[in-house]
Amino acid sequence: MSASAAPTTESAEAALNHPVLDDAAAPQLAGTPVKLIASDIDGTILSYKLTASGAVSPRTVEAFQAASEAGVAVVLVTGRPVRNMRPVSDTLGEIGPVICSNGAVMYDLAQDRLVSSWPMQAEALFSAKDIILDLDPGAFFAAETLEHLHLEDGFAKDSLFYDDAKRKAAGIGEEQLLFGPLDETLERGTRGEVRTPDSEVGQDHVADRVVKLLVKTHSMDPDAFLAEVRRRAGHLVSVTHSAPGVSLLELAAKGINKAAGLQRFATSLGVNQQNVVAFGDMPNDIEMLQWAGTSWAVGSAHPMARAAANHVTSSCDDDGVAVIIEKLLAGQL
């Protein structure tokens, strides 16, 4: 974890309390007890054709419920912001804590409260933005805070944010959107005036509350864009992508990723790394797939995610995650 990324609310360790199975009672995976299942959402348990509706398949819902009833802790680890979780939680039911924004936010949906967040600092954010604009002057940006989604017009064009029905289906209220150049809506020009030596991250300036910076280009393919931005700005921020076929990058505070968020959650439960099973499908899942004791990429996953996982299951549309959970609970792994 980077020293520059400081939590803005109470720690997860102090806030979460979930009973954990003892070794003998837990489902066994090749002789290792499984106490925590972590899964990405879009493209892993939710078809990309159904991302707006959040309609997770009945088989997958039943598998997750069966795991919970067996005493296994289940956590969703997603690039989605909290505001986009409602359609999924409506399908899955009472799912409790979730790790959102690629590990930058932990939120308890059952209690509707923030547990912790790890925002970017304004200096790193704007420096990375300038570096990317030097690479591609035609790039467009958006920024997620816990309160708002800041959108440049070029980023929002042809997206669900300009379509009332799609926006509402995704659980995004119009009052949550702020349109305009990020340098203006994030108040870049006033940073020197509002910061004080004793100010705290997340309280002194809008830009210091950004949990995810997004950037879109039309001049490079997704993997090439990811590699080049990591090369140029990776010393300042974490960089990944999760949208198949779209040159859209997601930036977070240095050291923040899904693995970091999952590790904090597992520690809060007293669950060791080897007792964690994880599922994913895109480059933003790589660190989580590598960190978990055992991991599966779905068959429809990006090649980088498949390479990072220990195993590959069926595709998302064929309920690949449910297949593995069912076998786990039946003692067939």
Q: How far apart are CA 143 and CA 236, in angstroms?
A: 16
pLDDT of residue 167: 60
Give the other-Cβ count within 10 Å of 276's Cβ.
25
Three-state DSSP class for 315?
coil
pLDDT of residue 36: 96
The pTM (predicted TM-score) of the whole model is: 0.87
CA dihedral 122, 3, 119, 180 (to 10 degrees): 20
Q: For residue 146, what are the contacts with CB-CB under 8 A and spacing of at least 6?
A: 82, 105, 114, 117, 209, 211
Question: Is there a contact between 213 and 151 (Cβ–Cβ < 8 Å)?
Answer: no
pLDDT of residue 191: 59
Residue type, 114: L
Residue type, 169: A
Tell me the two tokens of residue 135: 């690479």
Question: Is there a contact between 27 and 281 (Cβ–Cβ < 8 Å)?
Answer: no
CB burial of residue 244 (10 Å; 0-12, 13-18, 19+)? middle
Q: Is 72 left (phi over 0), alpha (psi -120 to 50) or beta?
A: beta
Phi then psi dihedrals of residue 37, to 5 deg: -110, 125
Question: Is there a contact between 267 and 13 (Cβ–Cβ < 8 Å)?
Answer: yes
For β-strands 36-39 and 276-280, DSSP reports them as parallel
pLDDT of residue 14: 44
For β-strands 294-297 and 311-312, DSSP reports them as parallel
Give the other-Cβ count within 10 Å of 17's Cβ.
7
Q: How far apart are CA 13 and CA 269, in angstroms?
A: 8
Question: Is there a contact between 241 and 6 (Cβ–Cβ < 8 Å)?
Answer: no
Q: Which residue has the tokens 């795991």?
A: 67
Per-residue pLDDT of the chain (333 residues; tens, 9 = 90+): 333 444 544 444 444 556 677 878 888 998 999 999 999 999 999 998 887 777 899 999 999 999 999 999 999 999 999 988 888 888 887 777 899 999 999 999 888 899 999 999 999 999 999 999 999 999 999 999 988 889 998 887 766 555 666 666 656 667 778 888 999 989 887 755 444 444 444 445 788 889 999 999 999 999 999 999 999 999 999 999 988 888 999 999 999 999 999 999 999 999 999 999 999 999 999 999 999 999 999 999 999 999 999 999 999 999 999 999 999 999 999
Tell me the two tokens of residue 300: 């429809």
Tell me the two tokens of residue 238: 């974490």
Question: Is there a contact between 98 and 85 (Cβ–Cβ < 8 Å)?
Answer: yes
Residues paired with residue 151 on neighbouring β-strands, in sequence order: 142, 179
* Alpha helices per DSSP H over the chain: 12-15, 58-69, 86-92, 122-135, 153-156, 164-169, 182-185, 191-194, 222-233, 258-269, 286-291, 303-308, 320-329
Tell me the two tokens of residue 182: 């990020």
pLDDT of residue 173: 66
Three-state DSSP class for 54?
coil
